[in-house]
Amino acid sequence: MNSRSFRHLLQDLARVALAAGLIAVGVQQHGHAAEPSPGTPVKIQSLRGGTPLDQDNAPTPIRQERDHAPSDRDFVQQPPLIPHTISNYQITKNYNKCMDCHAFQKSKDSGAPKVSVTHFRTRDGQELDNISPRRYFCTQCHVPQTDAKPLVGNTFQRARGLQ
Ligand code: HEC
Ligand code: HEC
């Protein structure tokens, strides 16, 4: 290496060192600016927003689907999707609004399909004369369908027997 290219090398090294130094200073200053001075309250925005811990946020309204024709199933064992609004339909220990229309006795008047006979079987295979406790909370399995775009792409395909 001749003395001329050696000088260039030194100059390059100096430039690199200078740039690194500037970046380091920048980072330091930046870090410094984000740090609150003692006594200043730290502002952190959580999902509950600025609502104090001893208060509740108003629940966000659930978008109710409108009534529509029953949806096709994607596989035969699928719990069918709910094709109607279920706004204010209560399912409590003493009362099940869904059974108001879907119970065997009610379906003739309501025009709603009867709950499946499988819903009378306990997990041990015992047949009951009323809806099985494990099928009592209908919305555990039956949900309305929205036409929202999938958040993540997928290659799911309807079961071949239903295509
Ligand atoms: C006021 C009567 C009524 C009530 C209450 C009701 N439904 Fe329905 N439901 C219907 C009727 C009528 C249909 C048939 C709609 C059609 O065929 O167009 C239906 C259809 C359905 C279907 C579609 C079945 C299929 O084979 O596609 C499901 C699932 C369902 N309801 C679930 C529920 C659930 C869960 C609840 C309670 C949260 C509920 N329903 C409350 C009247 C009712
Ligand atoms: C643990 C999940 C689960 C729960 C809870 C449940 N279901 Fe189902 N439901 C299913 C599945 C799975 C099917 C389809 C296969 C079958 O018939 O068992 C079905 C089928 C149905 C059908 C269609 C019946 C037919 O002949 O095509 C109706 C109507 C229905 N359910 C209503 C209800 C109602 C009303 C409730 C609450 C009282 C309820 N289900 C609770 C899983 C559930």
Instruction: Determine contact, residues 115/104, Cβ cutoff 8 Å.
Output: yes
Whose Cα sits closest to atom 30 in ligand 1? Answer: 82
> How many other β-carbons are positioned within 10 Å of the β-carbon of residue 82?
20
Instruction: Determine contact, residues 59/48, Cβ cutoff 8 Å.
Output: no
Q: Is 151 exposed, middle or buried (0-12, 13-18, 19+ CB in 10 A)?
A: exposed
26 CB within 6 A, ligand 2: no
| Bigger pLDDT: 3 vs 48 | 48
- Taking the centre of ligand 1 as the mean of its atom positions, its distance from the CA of residue 162, in whole angstroms, is 21
Q: What's the pLDDT band for 142 if we cut at 50, 70, 90?
A: very high
Whose Cα sits closest to atom 26 in ligand 1? Answer: 80
Q: How many CA atoms lie within 13 A of 92 on its CB side?
A: 5
Q: Which two tokens stand for residue 120?
A: 């009378």
- Taking the centre of ligand 2 as the mean of its atom positions, its distance from the CA of residue 153, in whole angstroms, is 28
Q: Rounded to whole angstroms, how far apart are CA atoms 142 and 89?
A: 13
Q: What is the pLDDT of residues 16-59, one digit of tens each?
A: 555 555 455 444 445 445 566 778 887 777 888 888 889 998 88
Q: Rounded to whole angstroms, how far apart are CA atoms 163 and 159?
A: 6
- Taking the centre of ligand 1 as the mean of its atom positions, its distance from the CA of residue 33, in whole angstroms, is 58
| Bigger pLDDT: 141 vs 11 | 141
Q: What is the pLDDT of residues 74-95, one digit of tens each?
A: 999 999 999 999 999 999 999 9
Q: Which two tokens stand for residue 122?
A: 């306990």
Long-range contacts (CB closer than 8 Å, 24 or more residues apart) made by 29-37: none
pLDDT at 124: 96
pLDDT at 73: 94
